[in-house]
């Protein structure tokens, strides 16, 4: 019994050794019973697992169409026929796959057919290759014929085995086209030898792709490529030659280089630049002469000239001239007039017959939507311009338009500068007068108003000192009110003077530490009222560039306001810091004092505007107005946010 199990294990091991290479092959080996149900399978078709296939028929596994094809062939094997590489196609996802099926019947000891054994091989890739190869010759022919450049295949003797004779090589004779002529006999008849250097010979010699630029006397500038073709041993047996006519490209490159030279040489003088453009137009269009005529004060003036005759008139009446008619037409049209003596311009334009002109090409130059001149080239022979030449003339006319625009803009700027200088001088004089008047007013306020106040305050003091015992309580109260009003008036006058002085201050910018300034001011406030437990937070290392003296006044007013309006708050908190808003540094002073309603936010910065009575919170009402003038004088902004009973925050920016 034990030996039987060993023998069975050895059989399975041998079977596995046999199946392992089969599993790694593209073969699908299968066994089916007499009902065509799979009993064993190795390598099911892609997407299937062996366990999913066993005990199923093709009808269970495939679409009806595919199952019918497979079953039809297998039933032949089930009837005793041996199938060898029967071809069939199976459709999947709209694509046909090709297989070869080999199968034969499986018989029992009695000779009865009990099923079939078979092999299914995927030959789709081979079929595609065969189809592709069958079409390759036709496809190659179509490719060669579709390419506008010259393509040829040459052997080691430089014989042309095939060519499409394109790319300007249509001049090759029919005799040379029919036979396998040598390339030099076909391309350069009568030379009897290859050209130097020969790109095809170089490709045979080096086995590398060769690229050369050369000149064919019959074609012009050409690009020549030679691509080696190798046999199985690595030897070059053929060379594919590709030649492209680049004559037009070379001409364009030369034209572009000249245009770049002209444009890069532009200077500040617009008239000189226009002359350079006119010369460029004449040269590139191979003209007899070139002109830029501009309509100026009723005259047709030759502003730009190239190769004009010595006696050519610099200006003339415009009527009858071709250039004048071009200006009257569409600004985008390019005029081409040939056989000029046969046109009406032979009588109306004096230059036609005077200089024997035959051809005229021109385009209007416009500025601000109005045609102001004409760029033209003329010939003493018949000339038919190419589309590229007409396009170039249009481009140069556009460049002249730009120069005209620049010239007029410079003139406008010159006039504007002169006007601005005049206005600045007038405004400066007005400001000087205003400053003198303001200084006189300040002197008047300081002297003329202070003097009566001092007299009023002095006499009221004398009344109290000398006659207080003769006055009743109401009298003494009235004198105290007089003195208080005088002091308040004196404070208002001083505030007006300070505000006026700020408006005339010149800002001297330097690096200022706002953090240090606020710290010193906070220390001073605490020393004045040491009994107040105010928590003050200052963000360190905040630096700006501005007027140190003015910025100190600004933050002093903001900090003093915060100190004042938190005086009735038990746990007062004042904070100075900076935050980033939309990429901008915004500084702030925040407190938790009485605050204000946002309905009155705009009135906070009006001089002498107050939201609280002086008895409740003393002051003159110019603190925030002072801060606003200083911040705006630095080019910054100031605004406030608050809520009644919940504190206020004042923000400012300094560029």
**Average pLDDT rounded to a whole number, residues 448-460:** 71
Largest CA distance in the chain: 160
The residue ranking higher by pLDDT, 211 or 46, is 211
Q: What is the pLDDT of residue 616?
A: 59
How many Å is the Cα radius of gyration of the chain?
A: 52
Question: Lowest mean pLDDT: which of 200-204, 270-274, 447-451?
Answer: 447-451
Q: Give the chain's domains with CATH numbers.
A: 22-129 (3.30.450.20), 147-250 (3.30.450.20), 260-413 (3.30.450.40), 505-653 (3.30.565.10)
Sign, CA torsion 49/55/58/64? negative
**Average pLDDT rounded to a whole number, residues 129-152:** 78
DSSP code of 340?
G
What one-character-per-residue DSSP string does 598-653 give? GGGTGGGGSTT--SS-TTTS---S-HHHHHHHHHHHTT--EEEEE-TTS-EEEEE-
**SS3 (DSSP) at 218:** coil
621 in Cβ contact with 491 (< 8 Å): no
374 in Cβ contact with 321 (< 8 Å): no
d(Cα 67, Cα 59) in Å, to the nearest integer? 5
Question: Lowest mean pLDDT: which of 14-28, 56-70, 335-349, 367-381?
Answer: 14-28
d(Cα 592, Cα 164) in Å, to the nearest integer? 93
**Average pLDDT rounded to a whole number, residues 326-334:** 91
d(Cα 311, Cα 323) in Å, to the nearest integer? 19
Residue 285 confidence class, pLDDT cut points 50, 70, 90 = very high
Residue 382 confidence class, pLDDT cut points 50, 70, 90 = very high
**SS3 (DSSP) at 195:** coil
**Average pLDDT rounded to a whole number, residues 213-219:** 86
Phi, psi of 553 (to 5 degrees): -60, -40
Residue 601 confidence class, pLDDT cut points 50, 70, 90 = confident
Cis-peptide, bond into residue 389, ω within 30° of zero: no
% pLDDT > 90, the chain:
37
Q: What is the pLDDT of residue 325?
A: 94
The residue ranking higher by pLDDT, 219 or 377, is 377
Q: Kindly tell me the burial class for residue 408, based on how many C-beta atoms sit within 10 Å of its own C-beta (0-12, 13-18, 19 or more).
A: middle
Residue 357 has pLDDT above 90, yes or no: yes
Question: Lowest mean pLDDT: which of 289-303, 321-335, 422-436?
Answer: 422-436
Cis-peptide, bond into residue 197, ω within 30° of zero: yes
CA dist list (Å): 126 to 100, 133, 139: 11, 10, 19
Q: What is the pLDDT of residue 479?
A: 77
């Amino acid at each position: 019994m034990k030996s039987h199990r060993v023998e069975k294990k050895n059989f399975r091991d041998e079977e596995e050794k046999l199946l392992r290479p089969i599993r790694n092959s593209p073969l699908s080996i299968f066994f089916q019973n007499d009902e065509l149900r799979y009993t064993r399978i190795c390598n099911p078709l892609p997407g299937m697992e062996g366990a999913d296939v066993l005990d199923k028929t093709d009808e269970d596994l495939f679409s009806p169409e595919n199952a019918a094809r497979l079953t039809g062939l297998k039933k032949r094997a089930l009837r005793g026929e041996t199938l060898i590489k029967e071809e069939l196609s199976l459709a999947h996802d709209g694509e046909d796959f090709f297989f070869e099926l080999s199968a034969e019947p499986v018989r029992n000891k009695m000779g009865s057919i009990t099923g079939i054994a078979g092999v299914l091989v995927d030959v789709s890739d081979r079929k595609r290759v065969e189809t592709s190869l069958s079409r390759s010759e036709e496809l190659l022919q179509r490719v060669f014929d579709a390419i506008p450049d010259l393509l040829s295949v040459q052997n080691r003797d430089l014989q042309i085995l095939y060519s499409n004779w394109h790319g300007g090589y249509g001049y090759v004779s029919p005799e040379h086209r029919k036979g396998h002529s040598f390339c030099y006999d076909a391309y350069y008849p009568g030379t009897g030898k290859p050209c130097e250097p020969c790109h095809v010979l170089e490709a045979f010699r080096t086995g590398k792709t060769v690229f050369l630029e050369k000149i064919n006397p019959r074609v012009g500038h050409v690009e020549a490529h030679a691509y080696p073709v190798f046999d199985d041993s690595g030897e070059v047996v053929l060379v594919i030659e590709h030649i492209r006519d680049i004559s037009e490209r070379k001409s364009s490159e030369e034209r572009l280089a000249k245009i770049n030279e002209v444009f890069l040489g532009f200077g500040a003088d617009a008239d000189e630049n226009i002359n350079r453009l006119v010369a460029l137009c004449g040269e590139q269009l191979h003209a007899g002469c070139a002109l830029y005529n501009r309509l100026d004060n009723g005259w047709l003036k030759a502003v730009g000239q190239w190769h004009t005759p010595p006696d050519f008139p610099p200006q003339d009446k415009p009527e009858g001239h071709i250039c004048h008619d071009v200006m009257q037409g569409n600004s985008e049209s390019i005029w081409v007039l040939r056989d000029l003596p046969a046109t009406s311009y032979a009588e109306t334009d004096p230059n036609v017959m005077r200089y024997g002109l035959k051809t005229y090409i021109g385009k209007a130059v416009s500025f601000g939507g109005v045609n102001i001149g004409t760029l033209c080239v003329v010939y003493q022979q018949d000339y038919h311009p190419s589309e590229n030449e007409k396009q170039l003339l249009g481009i140069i006319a556009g460049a002249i338009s730009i120069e005209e625009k620049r010239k007029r803009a410079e003139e406008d700027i010159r006039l504007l500068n002169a006007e601005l200088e005049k206005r600045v001088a007038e405004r400066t004089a007005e400001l000087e007068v205003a400053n003198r008047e303001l200084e006189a007013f300040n002197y008047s306020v300081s002297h003329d108003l202070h003097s009566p106040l001092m007299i009023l305050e002095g006499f009221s003091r004398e009344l109290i000192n000398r006659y207080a015992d003769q006055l009743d309580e109401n009298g003494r109260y009235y004198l105290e009110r007089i003195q208080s009003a005088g002091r308040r008036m004196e404070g208002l006058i001083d505030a007006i003077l300070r505000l006026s002085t700020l408006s005339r201050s010149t800002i001297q910018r330097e690096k200022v530490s706002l953090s240090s300034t606020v710290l010193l001011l906070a220390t001073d406030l605490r020393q004045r009222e040491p009994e107040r437990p105010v928590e003050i937070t200052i963000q360190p290392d905040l630096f700006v560039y501005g007027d140190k003296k003015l910025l100190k006044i600004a933050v002093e007013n903001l900090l003093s306001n915060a100190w004042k309006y938190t005086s009735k708050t038990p746990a007062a908190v004042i904070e100075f810091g900076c935050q980033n808003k939309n990429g901008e540094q915004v500084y702030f002073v925040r407190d938790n004092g009485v605050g204000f309603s946002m309905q009155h936010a705009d009135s906070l910065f009006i001089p002498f505007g107050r939201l609280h009575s002086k008895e409740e919170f003393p002051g003159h009402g110019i603190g925030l107005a002072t801060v606003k003038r200083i911040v705006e004088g630095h080019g910054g902004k100031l605004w406030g946010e608050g809520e009644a009973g919940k504190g206020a925050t004042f923000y400012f920016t300094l560029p």
